[in-house]
Each structure stands twice: as structure tokens, then as C-alpha cells.
Amino acid sequence: MQPVVLVTGASSGIGSALCKRLLQEDAGVRLCLACRSMQKAAATKAVLLATHPAAQVTFVRLDVSSLESVLRAASEIQRRFQRLDYLFLNAGTMPNTHVNFKALISGLFSGKAVHMLSTAEGLLTQEDCITADGLQAVFETNLFGHFILIRQLEPLLCCLEKPSLLIWTSSSNARKSAFSLADYQHSKGKESYSSSKYAIDLASVALNKHFNKQIRFFTKSYTLTPYNGAEAQVWLLKQKPESLDALMKYHSCTSPMGKNYVESQKMDVEEETTEIFYQKLLELEKHVLARLNAPFSPK
């Protein structure tokens, strides 16, 4: 059967580049673009069909910073499809960043200069805000909106003998030092992006533990250009899930000569922490869905 692929954040950046590369790999996939802007989604579809006129491309409105939008999109996706073979979670946000010049100057004259410049640790600060759902915007957009989407789409992801493959875009900027279980929405910090990306790493490990037989979750990080940034996603698409390590992050890399390749790196996570965080996400899910009078799965 033709694989069914859903891509969030598909109208720009890495999501758009990924859609192009997916059709280059297999023009027969049934591709669904999940985008916040229907105008941009239609434009992306037109570009894809210009090079692959026979491709099956549809789109659905999805704003992961709005739980009502997530629930509507999940309902629409379940109405259209009987299964999802691949789910690529790319939608996200990085708030306005400010350079911490004091940290920059002190870091340049320390032994951690290369590490600081390559990871931006302690170098960038960000201002977050609150969404209409009462959640921190970066946390909801980068992590929780997708978490609710995954939970709502379980019937489509868990219905096959062959595990569905879910690939969640993380970042090399995902740092343990920026995350706190006591403040997992990062309401009190200044590195909300890094915290949210580390939270993705934690969530992916926990989800793998709970759904290993039905769904396989993997994270990848982004580099240089959207096309290059999709390298690990395309590579993961071709791998057998059972051959991959759920505790590894798969990085899209580009050599100085311009050659794309994939590099694996063990995530800096503790399985006990992943489980505690997963339970916190379930508690938050129960709370917000009850407030929205939305269907809730106790699994």
C-alpha cells in the first residue's frame, strides 16, 4: 500500500524541503501537509505538484500553539486516513533572541569558547509569552501541541503490524542545563527554546518506552539549510526501526566540502527523568482537555 505521510510545519523551512525530498524518494506517497496558514499550504502544494504532477498531496490546518486547532486537525486527519505510516513533527518556534554580551566576552577567553559558539549555551536569551491556552508559547508550540497530536492520532499510529515511524525535530541546542522538571514549561528561565528541545528528547524516549511495539519515535537535529537539515529525516525514512537506538539523536550534518551525512549521538537523558516528565505531560493533558471538553485517552 502507498505510505501515508503527515508533515507538520510543511509550508516553510525544513518542513517544505522535507516534502520535496520525500517525493523525490517516492512520488507515490500520500503526503499530507499540516500547516498553520492555508494560503502557504496551498502554495507549497502547487510547488510540489509542479515537479510531481501525479503526486497525492493534501493539506490540513494545524496550529500547534492552539490546542483547539490541534484537536480539530486530529479529528480531520482521522476522518481522511485509516492509518499513518510516517509522522514528521517539524513545526516549531524560536522567540526573539538577545545576545548575552557579558557571557560572550567571558566565554571567548575561556576554555569553553568552541562549545559556547557551537551550542549557544548561555549566549542567547529569549522572551517567551503565554498562549490562549494559558501555557508558555514555546513549550506549547515546540512540544505540548505535538504531544497532544500524537495522543489524539494513536488510533492511526497503532493500528498496523508494522510500527509507524515518528520523527521529531529536536536541536543540537537541546541542553539538559536549560531544563527543569520543576519548571518544565520554562516560565522562569531565559532559554525557552533550548528547554523545549531538551523536553522533546525526554518525551521521545518516554514515548518509545510506552509505545515501542506500535510506534517508534526518533529525534533529529537541524543544520545549515532546509534541504541539508532534512538529511537525517530522509535517512531515517529508509532505516528499519528495529535497527535504530531510541536513546540516540540523529543529526543532519554537512561536511566542509558540502556533502550531507548523518551522525548519531547519544542523548543526555536519564530514563527515570523521562518517565517523570511523561507523567507530568499526561497530567497536563488531562487538565487541559477537561477544560476544553475534549476526548481524553487514559492510556
Integer Cα distance of 76 and 35 in angstroms:
13
31 contact partners, CB below 8 Å, separation of at least 6:
5, 7, 19, 22, 23, 48, 55, 56, 57, 58
Cα torsion through 248, 249, 250, 254, rounded to 10: -130
Cell of residue 89, nine digits: 513533527
* Cα–Cα dist 58/61, whole Å: 11
Residue with cell 499526561: 282
Cα 31 to Cα 56: distance, rounded to the nearest angstrom:
6
Render the burial of 128-148: b for 16+ CB within 10 Å, e for the rest. beebebebbbbbbbbbbbbbb
Report which of 181, 222, 233, 159 is spatially closest to residue 7, judged by C-alpha positions: 233
Reduce the DSSP state of residue 286 to 3 states and report it: helix
Question: Quick check: is 222 catalytic?
Answer: no
Q: 86, 184, 193, 278: which one is catalytic?
A: 193
Distance linking the first and last C-alpha atoms of the chain = 29
- Helices assigned H by DSSP within 220-270: 226-229, 231-237
What residues are annotated to the active site? 193
